[in-house]
Amino acid sequence: MKHKALRFGVFLTLGLLISHTGAVPIQEGRDALQPRDNTTTVGISQSLLDNFQLFANFTAASYCPGNENSTSDSLITCTDNACPLVAADNVTSLVEFGGSNDTTTADIKGFVALDPTRSLIVVAFAGSGNTIRNWLADFAFIQVPYTLTGCTACLIHAGFSSGWAERRSAVLSAVMSALETHPNYTLIVTGHSIGAGIATLAGAELRSLNYTADIYTFGSPRVGNTAFATFVTSQAPQLGQNYRMTHENDPVPQLPPTWVDYEHTSPEYWLTGGTDTTDAYAASGIVVCEGIGNEECNAGTGLVPIDGTAHNHYLGLISACQGPVAF
C-alpha cells in the first residue's frame, strides 16, 4: 500500500506542477461545450480478437534484444515464448532501431518487418526502456503543433513528437520500399505503451501520404488534443482502421489527463472481467467504447489506486523480453 501511495503521489505532484507552470492551458468549460459520447457495446468477432493477439505478438517482439541491429532479412525472434505467432510465420526484418547501441534522445525501439505467410508489412514499436513516469514527466505534458495537412489546430505530446521525429525517416523509407516490392501486402502499425503513442503518429502520417494503414495499439497514453484525436479517428475507414486496446485498470491510458486537453482516438477495445494479470479473454466479453472523450471502459476505473501490472499484460506478457514495464 505504501508503494502505491508513493506512485500516486508522484503523479499528483506532477499534475500540480503542470497546473502552476501554465505549460498547457486548460480549456474552461470544455465538457459543457463538447458533450461526452459514452456509447458502449459488448463483444467483437473472433477474427478481430485473433488479429489483436497477432499484433500483440509483433509488439512483444519489438522489446526483444535479439531484434536489435540485426541485418536485413534476418528472422524476428523472441525469448520466453513472447511471440510464437510471429516465429511461426518466419517474419523477416527490414530495418531495426533502438536498443543498447542507440544514441538518439528518445531511444524508441522497434522494427519494420515482412510477414510473407500473411502478406503483411508490420511496423512495431516497443514501450520505453525507462519508467513510464519519468518518460512522461520529462516533457511535463507540454503540447507542440502537429502540422499534417488536414489536421487543423492539432497539438501533440512533445515527447511523442520528438520520438517519432527520430524514427520517421527510417520507418517511412522502409515502408515505402516494401510496398513498392509488395504492393498487395497489408500495412499494419502497432505498439505498446509509449510505443503505442509513436505508432499512432506513424500510422497517421503514413495515411496522410495515401497509404492505407491499420493501427493496433496496446495500453496507449493519450497522444494529443481533441483536434488530433478527431483527425486520426476520422481517417478511418478510408485509410485504415483504428484498434486501440486497453486492459482492466491500466493507468497509462489515463495519462496525460483530459484536463490538460488530451483525448483518445475512437474506438477503444477494453479487456475486462478478469484481473490485472489475466491474459485470456473471450471475444464475446470485450467491451467496445466509441466516441472521442468516452469516459467509460478503462477511463472509468480511475487512477486510484495505481496498479501498473495490468499495463504489462495484453493477451500475454507483452513486455516479456524486457521484463515488466516500470512505473
Q: Enumerate the active-site residues.
A: 193, 250
The candidate with the shortest Cα–Cα distance to 185, out of 196, 174, 197, 170, is: 174
Chain centre to alpha carbon of residue 31: 25
**Beta strand extents in the chain (DSSP E only):** 39-42, 92-97, 110-115, 120-125, 143-145, 155-157, 186-192, 213-218, 242-247, 268-271, 287-290
What CA–CA distance (Å, rounded) separates 94 from 170?
10
- For the record, the C-alpha cell of 128 comes out as 520505453
Cβ atoms within 10 Å, residue 29:
8
Output the DSSP codes for 19-71. Answer: HHHTSS---TTHHHHS----EEEE---HHHHHHHHHHHHHHHHHT-GGGSSPP
Q: How far is CA 218 from CA 19, 39, 170, in A?
A: 28, 21, 23
Sort strands 120-125 and 39-42 into parallel, antiparallel or unpaired.
Answer: unpaired
